[in-house]
Structure 1
C-alpha cells in the first residue's frame, strides 16, 4: 500500500469511528447496532473470494475490525 493510500485509510477509519461514536452519543444508534455494523463489515471481508494474496489482505482487514469490536473503540461503553 502506498503512503498516500495508507494515510487515506487511516483518515477514513478515524472518520468512521468518530461517526459511530457521535451516533451512539446522540442516541441515533444503540451500541448493539453499532457492533452489528462492525460485525457485518468484518464478515464482508471474511467472505471475499480471490487469490490467496487478496484473501489474506481481506482477512487482515476483518481481523482489524474484530479488534476494534473487542476493544470497544467505536462505542463508549459504560
Structure 2
C-alpha cells in the first residue's frame, strides 16, 4: 500500500508542476502568482503540523515545497 501511495504522490506532483508551467506559459499566471500558490501550500502544511495525528508527514511536505520554492521549481528557470 505504501508503494502505491508513493507512486500516486509522485504522479500528482508531476501533474501539478506541468499545470503550473502551462499556466505560466499561457500567461494565465505569473511566476509570482505561482510562487504564491506554492507558499500557500507550504503554509497550510506548516500550520497542520501542531494538530496532526502524523505531524512528521506535514513537516516533510512543508520542507519539500520549500525546497521546490528555493530552487527545484522549474518555473523560475524559464
Q: TM-score when scaled to structure 2?
A: 0.89
Q: Distance in 1 between matches of 2:30 and 2:63?
A: 23
Identify the structure with bigger relative contact order (alpha carbons < 8 Å, sequence gap 6+): 1
Pairing 1:50–2:52 present: yes
RMSD over equivalenced CA pairs, Å: 1.5
Q: Distance in 2 between matches of 1:16 and 1:60?
A: 18
Moved over 4 A (4+): none
Gaps of 5+ in 2: none
Gaps of 5+ in 1: none
Q: Report the count of equivalent residues.
A: 76
For residues 1-78 of structure 1, what are the structure 2 equivalents within 5 Å?
2-48=2-48, 49-51=51-53, 54-78=54-78
Q: TM-score when scaled to structure 1?
A: 0.89
Paired residues of 1:21 and 1:76 also in contact (CA < 8 A): no
